[in-house]
Amino acid sequence: MSILEVRSIIENTYNAVLPRKFASTDATVQLLAISGQEAGWSARVQTGGPAHGLWQFEKGGGVHGALNHPASRRYVLAACAIRGVDPAERAIYDALPTDDLLACALARLLLYTDPRPLPAPGDVAYALGYYKSNWRPGRPHDGDWPENYAAAMRAMA
């Protein structure tokens, strides 16, 4: 899979799964960079780890957070209904390796739970901090972020 295919998944998620208010350039850049950082735009199951989907969610982490946060819960429930997935942590987690639109919806909705504004395109440092505070990666690999972010910006051109 390529970064442009991930961009297409994001756009399809905006069009078919989430309300249009979630579609923005700011969100798309952030989602692309995070998918690059977490999954190299292709891994749907973490090698040697528990995370699933192109945004690498753990059942008790991102899945739990997006499903149970007051700001995102109703949108997660609606996304699950659209995708035909039982709105339970285990069912969502199990669906993420094969349902890219659901994975993307959860990733976008996890960003929505942050009351701070999304990073503006080009604000690499703020975008890294935003990613780290929302994904809480065990081993963040900060040195990879600038190239993943730059690739996300190029994919938007």
Tell me: the pLDDT tens digits for 90-131? 999 999 999 999 999 999 999 999 999 999 999 999 999 999
Contact 51/38 with Cβ under 8 angstroms?
yes
pLDDT category, 141, cuts 50, 70, 90? very high
The one-letter amino acid code at 136 reads R
Give the tens place of pLDDT for each residue, 84-100: 999 999 999 999 999 99
Distance CA 36, CA 33 (A): 5
Q: What is the pLDDT of residue 153?
A: 98
Q: What is the pLDDT of residue 155?
A: 98
Contact 131/145 with Cβ under 8 angstroms?
yes
Q: Above pLDDT 70, what percent of the chain?
A: 100
Specify the residue for token string 């952030």. 30
Distance CA 36, CA 144 (A): 9
Contact 29/121 with Cβ under 8 angstroms?
yes
Q: Is 138 helix (H, G, I), strand (E, B) or coil?
A: coil
Give the tens place of pLDDT for each residue, 36-87: 999 999 999 999 889 999 999 999 999 999 999 999 999 999 999 999 999 9
What are the structure tokens assigned to 42, written together?
């292709």
Query: Taking the CA of residue 39 as centre, how many other CA atoms within 13 Å lie in the half-sphere pointing to its CB?
Result: 30
Task: Indicate yes or no: pTM above 0.95.
Answer: yes
